[in-house]
Amino acid sequence: MKVPRLEKGKGYKGPEFYGCYNTGMAPAIFHSRQGCYIVGPELRCRDAMRAGLTIFVRNTTHGEGRQQIWLYKSRKPAEAKFMQLCGAQMVENHRMRTEHARVLAKAKQGDMSAVLALGDY
């Protein structure tokens, strides 16, 4: 995956969670109008840009867990962090996809617990 050139105020979104669409939790990278790069979950990054969150300290983080965002002064480390988040999401999506296929196969064989587990996907 290659991150395109980002104009100020624009961003780029990575892969969504398996089975989810437009939840705002996909990894994203934004180039804020103040000149820094914001990396993290799409919704949190958009909120940070709307709030004008800019701290001119390199490699600053805000939030905890899945709500954490990273602020970078330059593009290169921001892009590296974005690619790391996208890679982790793609691995998680692959794991969920194989688990879903396994449960689906068991459900087709008549396993009622697998039928109930399909609701998780």
pLDDT in tens, 20-32: 888 889 999 999 8
Residues 6+ apart with CB under 8 A from 112: none
Let me know: does 62 contact 49? Beta carbons within 8 Å: no
What is the pLDDT, as a whole number, of residue 33? 86
- CA separation for the pair 8, 61 (Å, rounded): 20
- CA separation for the pair 93, 51 (Å, rounded): 31
pLDDT digits (tens, 9 = 90+) for 61-89: 777 777 899 999 899 999 999 999 999 99
Upper half-sphere CA count for residue 37 (Cβ side, 13 Å): 21
pLDDT digits (tens, 9 = 90+) for 30-62: 998 888 899 999 999 998 888 876 655 556 777
For residue 111, count other CB atoms closer than 10 A to its CB.
13
Mean pLDDT taken over the chain: 88
Q: Which of 14-28, 37-51, 86-100, 104-118 has the highest mean pLDDT?
A: 86-100
Phi, psi of 67 (to 5 degrees): -95, 10
- Based on its alpha-carbon atoms, the radius of gyration of the chain, rounded to whole angstroms, reads 18
The strand pair at 60-62 and 69-72 is best described as antiparallel
